[in-house]
Structure 1
Amino acid sequence: METSAIPRKKLETFAADSYKVPLLNVEHYPVTSNYFIIQNRETYPVKDYISPHRRQFYKVFHMTGGTGVLTIGLHRYEMVPNEIAFLHPDEIMSWQTTSEETRGHFCLIHPDYFGYDAEHVLHLLRQFPNFATNAAVVQLTEGQSATINGYFEAMYREDRGDNDDKKQAILLQLQLLLLESRRAGKNRVQTTVTEGYGYIYRFLSLLESAFRVQERDTYTRLKTATEFADELHVHPNYLNTLVKNQTGKTLREHIQDRLLHEAKTLLVQTDWGINEISYGLGFSGQAAFTSFFRKKTTVSPSAFRKTTLSPAHI
């Protein structure tokens, strides 16, 4: 398709899209995250953010108080107390708080947490119907919500305890949680996202898909901001304005942040040499990669790898 044939949205149409503050920061999970994380919202307040896919973690979020807007893919849910949400690792999601406080729990579960002895539970999670974006939020009665809250509290206590069989106890509570949610069976009605959010979603999706550095000798050619805009059939200035107003960062900043996150991931989770990582990420050589990494983190790639993999960080 010729560039001249691409319909470009005028910058002035941005005024037609309304956004709320504060900004939705784009967040990536730390490259050294535990395989199972559970938090209580009273001690771990929810933040407004957008999380791209390839998080690797399944996420379950139960609300007992407060309100907020959860967007999964292009499905938007206005959540209220006594609701539970299921987020698949491959979906872009965002959260926007609309109340003074939000109470409840959330847990993050990496597939590797289950191991060989609990593959049946992982299969149950993967087949659970509410990880579909159009059925991700389930309405609960007060009684069902109280029961599920009890399962979360039990997992929370076990996770912070020192019982030898705490993993088995956590997985048992998780299975009961899924069973109770499935029995509730009432999906929350979703609404469509704004056109502006749709562009932001598609940009982040394209940005994530650009990183497929999974094997040695795999080469990534990162697109420019203009190339991303062309793929979305929108003017670069319009897309940049949408993204900057919603996330606080420009297209170029998001591209560089994602490049840095991939570099950190490869440094920590592979044994590849610095030169191999440099090539895989599309740099002209190791010197260019080291210069980029040092500018963003103040340390060299090798120093970051050594520090992150030290006993104090494992």
Structure 2
Amino acid sequence: MEKLDIPRLALASFAEVNYKTPFLKVQHYPVNASYFSIENRENYPVVDYISPNRRQFFKIFHMTAGTGILTVGLHQYILGPGDIAFLHPDEIMSWQTTSEDTGGHFCLIHPRYFEDDADHVLHSLRTYPYFKASKAVIRLTDSQSASINQYFESIMKEEKGSNDDKKQAILLHLQMILLEAKRAGKNLADIQVPESYGYIYGFLSLLESAFQVKGPNVTVKIKTAAEFADQLNIHPNYLNALVKEQTGRTLREHIQERMLYEAKALLIQTDWDISNISNGLGFSGHAAFTSFFKKKEHISPSIFRKNAASQLNS
């Protein structure tokens, strides 16, 4: 039996009734995350959060039980059993769980997972029509949902196994998920979220774009809270109050948190020396960067890098 179209709800009325204050925790993916991971939602319940763009990972999640509110970019969906969502790395997204039940799977896929032997699958993801904010969610029939759930189960089994060809099997099941969902796909109407959420989206988007560290000899220009507000044509105090109310942190705290995240990523993912990282992030010198990092993490950048390398090699 075919299910009804996915209902959508204006964010203003939803937030007034359902969102707690603060309603969203800003959550970044771990800087040392593996290139592919899959989890069962029953064993890995999703908390309410907002994730900025530049996550690097494509994300696919399928629900077999429970309900929740997904906002992708400036588009919002009310999800329930039988829904599957496709999240592009460049989109800001948020999630709120609205039921105690939970079921299904989600997987995270980094583009580097496809290097050397699976460029054609990466091309499929990059050109897939539903990795777009206005088309991100598809409602499946019962039989389609059961088939996709079985593909996820097979992927989990392969990922936990030790077969030499397990990556090939995972990619085959992943392509079947894309095909099955594409056959069932329904394009949903484009509904813009209200102004208040738009400002939060705009701030996080500008904040992400500020951290384009292109090389060890290029310094990023980190804007102040007032400069971000000016770009959004809004008073700094109002923007700060809006962001604090709905995320629990001030503009300054978000800027510092994003700075720390980028510092960790550079320490783990590059071989730049501490001075180059300090310069790239706009600090006045090595000492200023080390002081900032130790205040936040309670260890020096060099020790953090050493510990991260040890964990990767263990």
**Aligned residue in 2 for 1:305:** 305
**Aligned residue in 1 for 2:51:** 51
Aligned-pair distance for 1:186? 1.7
The answer on whether the counterparts of 2:134 and 2:188 sit within 8 Å (CA) in structure 1 is no
**Structure 2: segments with no counterpart, 5+ residues:** 1-11
The amino acid across from 2:19 in the alignment is: K
The answer on whether the counterparts of 1:75 and 1:193 sit within 8 Å (CA) in structure 2 is yes
Q: Distance in 1 between matches of 2:312 and 2:85?
A: 35
**Aligned residue in 2 for 1:209:** 209
TM-score, normalised relative to structure 2: 0.92
Q: Distance in 2 between matches of 1:23 and 1:257?
A: 18
**Aligned residue in 1 for 2:283:** 283
Q: Distance in 1 between matches of 2:105 and 2:191?
A: 24
The amino acid across from 2:81 in the alignment is: P
Q: Distance in 1 between matches of 2:26 and 2:99?
A: 21
Q: Distance in 2 between matches of 1:45 and 1:246?
A: 22
The answer on whether the counterparts of 1:77 and 1:188 sit within 8 Å (CA) in structure 2 is no
Residues 82, 187 of structure 1: CA spacing in aligned structure 2 closer, same or farther, 3 A cutoff?
Answer: farther
**Aligned residue in 2 for 1:20:** 19
**Aligned residue in 2 for 1:103:** 103
The answer on whether the counterparts of 1:52 and 1:205 sit within 8 Å (CA) in structure 2 is yes
**Aligned residue in 2 for 1:164:** 164
Q: Distance in 2 between matches of 1:150 and 1:254?
A: 40
Matches within 5 A, 1:59-98: 59-98=59-98
Aligned-pair distance for 1:115? 1.6
**Aligned residue in 1 for 2:135:** 135
The amino acid across from 1:139 in the alignment is: R
**Aligned residue in 2 for 1:11:** none
**Aligned residue in 1 for 2:112:** 112
Matches within 5 A, 1:245-264: 245-264=245-264
Q: Distance in 1 between matches of 2:59 and 2:228?
A: 29
Q: Distance in 1 between matches of 2:250 and 2:111?
A: 33
Post-superposition Cα deviations, 1:33-65, rounded to whole Å, max 9, x if no partner, equal 000010001000011101111111000010111
Q: Distance in 1 between matches of 2:212 and 2:90?
A: 14
Residues 240, 77 of structure 1: CA spacing in aligned structure 2 closer, same or farther, 3 A cutoff?
Answer: same
Per the alignment, in what secondary structure is the counterpart of residue 70 of structure 2?
strand
Residues 313, 47 of structure 1: CA spacing in aligned structure 2 closer, same or farther, 3 A cutoff?
Answer: farther
The amino acid across from 1:195 in the alignment is: E
**Aligned residue in 1 for 2:4:** none
Q: Distance in 1 between matches of 2:183 and 2:234?
A: 44
Give the % identical residues: 64
What is the Cα-based RMSD across aligned positions, in Å? 1.7
**Structure 1: segments with no counterpart, 5+ residues:** 1-13
**Aligned residue in 1 for 2:155:** 155
Q: Distance in 2 between matches of 1:289 and 1:146?
A: 51
The answer on whether the counterparts of 1:66 and 1:99 sit within 8 Å (CA) in structure 2 is yes
Q: Distance in 1 between matches of 2:313 and 2:246?
A: 33
Aligned-pair distance for 1:101? 2.2
Post-superposition Cα deviations, 1:43-101, rounded to whole Å, max 9, x if no partner, equal 00011101111111000010111111111110111112111000000111111111122
The answer on whether the counterparts of 2:216 and 2:279 sit within 8 Å (CA) in structure 1 is no
Q: Distance in 2 between matches of 1:92 and 1:213?
A: 19
